[in-house]
Amino acid sequence: MLVDTERAYRAVAARDARFDGCFILAVRTTRIYCRPSCPAVTPKRRNAEFYPTAAAAQAAGYRACRRCLPDAVPGSPEWNLRADLAARAMRLISDGVVEREGVPGLAARLGYSERHLTRVLTAELGAGPLALARAHRAHSARLLIETTDLSLTEVAFAAGFASVRQFNDTIRSVFAATPSALRAKRSAPGAAGRIVLRLPYRPPFDAAGLLGYFRASAIPGVEHVTDTTYARSLRLPHGQATVILTPAAGYVSCSLRLTDLRDLGSAVNRVRRLLDLDADPRAVDEFLGDDPTLRPLVAARPGVRLPGSVDGAETLLRALGHTSPGEALDVPDGPVTHLYPAPSAIDSPVAAALADGSLVVDVGRDTDDLEAELAAFPGVGPDIARYVVMRVLGAPDVPLHNDNAAWRPWRSYAAMHLRRSA
Q: Enter the pTM of the model.
A: 0.91
State the pLDDT at residue 73: 83
Distance CA 353, CA 361 (A): 10
Is the pLDDT at 189 greater than 60, yes or no?
no
State the pLDDT at residue 422: 84
Is the pLDDT at 79 greater than 80, yes or no?
no
Is the pLDDT at 411 greater than 90, yes or no?
yes
Least trusted range by pLDDT, from 116-125, 186-195, 370-379, 402-411:
186-195
Q: Could you give the count of Cα atoms lying within 13 Å of 372 in the half-sphere of its Cβ?
A: 5
> Looking at the DSSP assignment, which residues form a beta bridge with residue 24?
51
Residue 15's region, left for phi above 0, alpha for psi from -120 to 50, else beta, is left
Q: Could you give the count of Cα atoms lying within 13 Å of 266 in the half-sphere of its Cβ?
A: 28
The yes-or-no answer on residue 22 being catalytic is no
% residues pLDDT > 70 (the chain)? 97
Is the pLDDT at 192 greater than 60, yes or no?
no
3-class DSSP state of 75: coil
Is the pLDDT at 156 greater than 70, yes or no?
yes
% residues pLDDT > 90 (the chain)? 81
- Residue 13, C-beta contacts closer than 8 angstroms, at least 6 positions apart: 42
Distance CA 98, CA 115 (A): 15
State the pLDDT at residue 55: 93
Q: Are 254 and 274 in contact (CB under 8 A)?
A: no
State the pLDDT at residue 2: 63
- Residue 343, C-beta contacts closer than 8 angstroms, at least 6 positions apart: 313, 317, 351, 352, 354, 355
Is the pLDDT at 59 greater than 70, yes or no?
yes
Sign of the alpha-carbon dihedral angle for 207, 22, 404, 295: positive
Residue 330 φ then ψ, to 5°: -60, -35
State the maximum Cα–Cα separation within the chain, in Å, rounded to a whole number.
63
pLDDT category of residue 187 using cuts at 50, 70 and 90:
low
The yes-or-no answer on residue 403 being catalytic is yes
State the pLDDT at residue 190: 52
Q: Are 371 and 83 in contact (CB under 8 A)?
A: no
Distance of CA 175 to the CA centre of its chain: 22
Residue 82's region, left for phi above 0, alpha for psi from -120 to 50, else beta, is beta
State the pLDDT at residue 194: 85
pLDDT category of residue 299 using cuts at 50, 70 and 90:
very high
pLDDT category of residue 122 using cuts at 50, 70 and 90:
very high
Q: Are 252 and 276 in contact (CB under 8 A)?
A: no
Distance CA 416, CA 216 (A): 14
Is the pLDDT at 370 greater than 90, yes or no?
yes
Of residues 149 and 285, more confidence is placed in: 285
Q: Which helix (H) or strand (E) holds 167?
A: helix 164-175
State the pLDDT at residue 72: 77
State the pLDDT at residue 105: 97
Q: Are 25 and 38 in contact (CB under 8 A)?
A: yes
Q: Are 410 and 286 in contact (CB under 8 A)?
A: no
Round the average pLDDT of the chain to a whole number and report it: 93
Catalytic residue among 22, 34, 38, 65: 34
State the pLDDT at residue 347: 97
Q: Could you give the count of Cα atoms lying within 13 Å of 102 in the half-sphere of its Cβ?
A: 4
Least trusted range by pLDDT, from 65-74, 124-133, 278-287, 306-315:
65-74
Catalytic residue among 149, 260, 369, 403: 403
Is the pLDDT at 230 greater than 70, yes or no?
yes
- What spatial distance separates the first Cα and last Cα of the chain, rounded to whole Å? 38
